[in-house]
Structure 1
Amino acid sequence: MATHGMNERIQKLRDISVNTPVHIDLERAKIETDFYRENDGKYSIPVMRAMVLKEYFSKKTLYFGDGELIVGEKGKDPQASPTFPELCCHSEEDMIVMSDRKLVSFHTTVEDRELQKKEIIPFWEGRTIREKILASMKPEWHECYEAGVFTEFMEQRGPGHTCGGEQVFTTGYMDYKAKIKETMDKLDWMNDPEAYDKNEELKAMDICCDAVIILGERYHKLALEKAEAETDPVRKAEILQIAKNLEVVPAHAPQTYWQAIQLYWFTHLAVTTELNPWDAFSPGRMDQHLIKYYEADTEAGILDDEKALELLECLWVKFYNQPAPVKVGITLKESATYTDFANINTGGVTPTGENGVNAVSYLILDCMDDMKLVQPNSNVTISKKTPQRFLRRACEISRKGWGQPAFYNTEAQIMELINAGKTLEDARRGGSSGCVETGAWGSEAYILTGYMNIPKIFQMTLFNGYDQVSGKQLGLKLGYAKDFKTYEELWDAFKKQLEY
């Protein structure tokens, strides 16, 4: 029996998502390793990376679940977590630790461990980005690193915690390819010493577009096969509509609300599969991006609120199906979360400063209320122009006590972005994503670069730069707590330690 607000389809999809154990999926690692073994050194780094994405999307196992209306998974099935050995390669011990930890485990099979041991680890040893970064650091850095002054992070993933702009809901990949070609044609080979590098990067971008288009084509073919075999006429019609959607997206600009959501999801998969950003790649202000499709479809009579909400809830399941890729080494033992930190902003204001709450905003509130999932993380941005009805509905959901939505101040976000040099229009288009970074969406990358253990640095300030945990002199010798006669002296010493 379906719960209030959640129909039987969504209940089943949600149950699969919530109850499927998280597991490691080495298909990406195997395809990538085989491709590198055969082609390493033949192409530039960006082109090589792009070709790996294309190879993976051309060969990966496709998942098309019963009742799904939005298709696509990063791995073979829900709750599958691919690995990224080019960034950081899990050791044999890692494979056991991640599977055996009592909370937030990533199940690995005997076959997984054998594949990792015999094929993945031997090839990537000495090649990973993490090893190269750590090898380039000074001994003093390693001492601080081992003592926990700063934690492992950027060497375990690519830059993340950012958000695309409106184009992730409006632009087809053939359109991107046309823009890339136009840019390549304008390269000044005679006078620009960076022309070759730019061309390789653009070439790689073009290949990545092909990869996403191929994934869409493969799902289109699979949808037609499933429709042919389907005996239930209602489900058959749904699958045929999915196939029609895939004739349009991701290759071309979406024409409908359903297609816009499907386009975004393919983009999300591509961004988080090409190189693990752990993840926090977010759809941004989805109500602003979807409203034009919603209004056109409802006016045309092909969409009502019940269907529009159902499609959002299918997307919520997709987000929840994607566990954050598991870390390596000491961070694997310390960092325990499945949450991928995709963060959706709802409300706020438009680029012209008008109230940004619209019909899709209320559907998103209903969606988060129905689904009660920690992923995606949803918030509301409240401005002086926000309708009381919207604020009241958000508060009704919040008081249920499961943690969403978060509440952000629109004016404060805008002022922060303007103080950082953004235009007023860009500031109004932006917001908060990840956990929690504020940026101008679609016009900048405000990426997370790592963590510093500031309380530990303050503790060292009180002990003349000495770290009591590691038993090493890691900081500057500026005095002990008893030596500082005023708050200003302590503050000045702390700032010097922090800078050091």
Structure 2
Amino acid sequence: MSTTVLSPQETRIQEQIENKQAQPAHHTRANDILARVRAQKPHVDVERGLLFTESFRQTEGEPLVLRWAKALYHYAEKATVYVDKDQLIVGRGGGEGRYGLLYPELDGDTLDLAIKKLPTRESSPFDIAPEDAKTIIEDIAPYWKGKTFHEDLAKALGPETMKLTYNPDEALTSRYVVNETASFRSSLQWVHDYEIVLKKGFGGLRAEAQERLAQLDEFSPIDNCEKRPFLEAEILTADAIILWANRHADEAERQAAEEGDPKRAAELQRIAETCRWVPEHPARTFYEAMQSQWFTQLFSRIEQKTGTIISNGRMDQYLYPFYKADKEAGRITADEAQELFECMWVDMAQYIDLYLSDAGGAFNEATPTGRPSPSEARPPKATTRPTS
């Protein structure tokens, strides 16, 4: 007699098919966070797009690398910061729930048309508040007309490729014959050097850039036209993420002062102390290392779109020394370390790549970690996905 053995994932899928509710092996704070966001349709958050547009309006004519750093600083200074209920690892790029960000520098030329389709399209639908749609149409999209990567790419395509890539009767809409992915920023994966941040902190990286800046030859065209803007941008970017982290500390302290539950108030105070230290300084504990890694990862997503995966890299290598030291000193248990990982996983799961085009939505319908998004409130059906 043959016996079918299912993996845990296959078991959950089978239970869902049979309309059974799969129960978690153990209840954690991550379950509570997921329960609040799982059934929500992703929404469009306009802050990143609006703040970058405001900054780019003010910096026209400056070197692009410096304009980008100034836009990041403007975001860090003005954007809403979130310290979510139950969370231990804080920081998000959009409002509560699952969210997508706008990158108008890539495809802002189609923003005013795309937002009308986003809530109802079949692949990767996104909700958008009426006031946010008005902001896109009136404040963001007009500035980027004629300035986007999307338009420059279309102009660079030869006529034979162009007619196979985009519909001639509907500008820059894919024909699914030749499906370009450059404007989706697709790649294999991006792996940041988290270890250098954990060891030096952005304060240390900023100091290194300041030292190199001081060594430039003031009479050298290369030093002044190429190296100086890059180093100034590096310093400004470090200042931006440090400011952003400190604003999270401010918010955690505000919540701690108003919190009626002593246990949560203590957690919020610890969050504030952690965000005051990292990512500006080298991490001293496993908790600080986890928070510093997440700030670095998320701020990179705010900096620019990465259409596939921002990888966590070899977490076992760069995080283990912090875990080992804390474990030996009695500062952390295995269960507490697992809880921090779970908090980071649900942070990652709430960022959803937003693609304005139907082709991008269909081609990349998944979370940024490559795992399927939580199912929408509609029955699944077979689809044929375009291939590049």
**Shorter-chain TM-score above 0.5:** yes
CA RMSD of aligned residues (A): 2.5
2:245 corresponds to which of 200, 206, 216: 216
Q: Quick one: which of 99, 121, 129 aligns to 1:80? A: 99
Counterpart position of 2:8: none
Q: Please say if residues 230 and 236 of structure 1, whose CA atoms lie closer than 8 Å, have aligned partners that are also in contact.
A: yes
Partner of 1:477: none
Equivalence for 1:238: 267
**Correspondence 1:178 to 2:207:** yes
CA distance in 1 between counterparts of 2:232 and 2:326 reads 37
Name structure 2 gaps, 5 residues minimum.
Answer: 1-21, 167-174, 375-385
AA at the equivalent of 1:76:
G
Q: State the Cα distance separating 1:225 from its structure 2 match.
A: 1.1
Residue of 59, 63, 85 corresponding to 2:78: 59
Aligned to 1:47: 66
Matched, 1:331 2:350: no
Among 137, 153, 161, the residue aligned to 2:189: 161
Spell out, residue by residue over 1:17-61, the C-alpha distance to the aligned partner (whole angstroms, 9 max, x if none): 3223200011111222222233323x2211111111111111111
Q: Residue in 2 aligned with 1:227?
A: 256
The residue identity in structure 2 corresponding to 1:331 is A
Aligned to 2:13: none
Instruction: Measure, in 1, the Cα distance between the counterparts of 2:227 and 2:312.
Output: 28
Counterpart amino acid of residue 57 in structure 1: A
Report the structure number with the largest CA radius of gyration.
1
Give 1:289 shift: 1.3
Give the corresponding residue for 2:133: 113
Q: Which residue of 2 aligns with 1:299?
A: 328
Give 1:4 shift.
Answer: 5.0
User: What's the offset of the Cα at 1:111?
Assistant: 2.1
Shift of 1:223: 1.1
Paired with 1:150 and 1:315, the residues of 2 have a C-alpha distance of: 37
The answer to whether the 8 A contact 2:104-2:140 is kept is: yes
- Residue 152 of structure 1: SS of its match in structure 2? coil
What is the CA distance between 1:177 and its match in structure 2?
Answer: 0.2
Mapped contact 2:101–2:353 kept (Cα < 8 A): no
1:129 maps onto 2:153 in alignment: no
Work out the CA distance in 2 between the residues paired with 1:176 and 1:19: 41
Contact 2:242 2:279 in 1 (8 A): yes
Deviations 1:265-308 (A, max 9, x none): 11011111111112411111111111101111011111001101
The alpha-carbon distance between structure 1 residues 333 and 4, as it changes in their structure 2 partners (threshold 3 A), is closer
Q: How many angstroms apart in 2 are the aligned matches of 1:80 and 1:452?
A: 26
Structure 1 residues 80 and 4, CA gap change in structure 2 (3 angstroms)? closer
Q: Give the CA deviation at 1:106.
A: 0.8
6 and 319 in structure 1: CA distance in 2 versus 1, 3 angstrom threshold: farther
1:496 matched to which residue of 2?
A: none
Q: 1:197 aligns with which of 207, 213, 226?
A: 226
What are structure 1's unaligned runs of at least 5 residues? Answer: 343-372, 377-450, 454-500
User: Higher relative contact order by CA 8 Å / sep ≥ 6: 1 or 2?
Assistant: 2
Contact 2:202 2:238 in 1 (8 A): yes
Preserved CA contact (<8 Å) 2:150 2:183: yes
Residue 195 of structure 1 deviates from its aligned partner by 4.5
Instruction: Give the 3 Å change call, closer, same or farther, for CA 218–212 of structure 1 in structure 2.
Output: same
Length-normalised TM-score, structure 2: 0.82
Q: Deviations over 1:145-178 (max 9, x none)?
A: 3464532221343877220233244331101101
Greater strand percent: which structure?
1
* Partner SS, residue 99 of structure 1: coil
Distance 1:287 1:111 in 2: 44
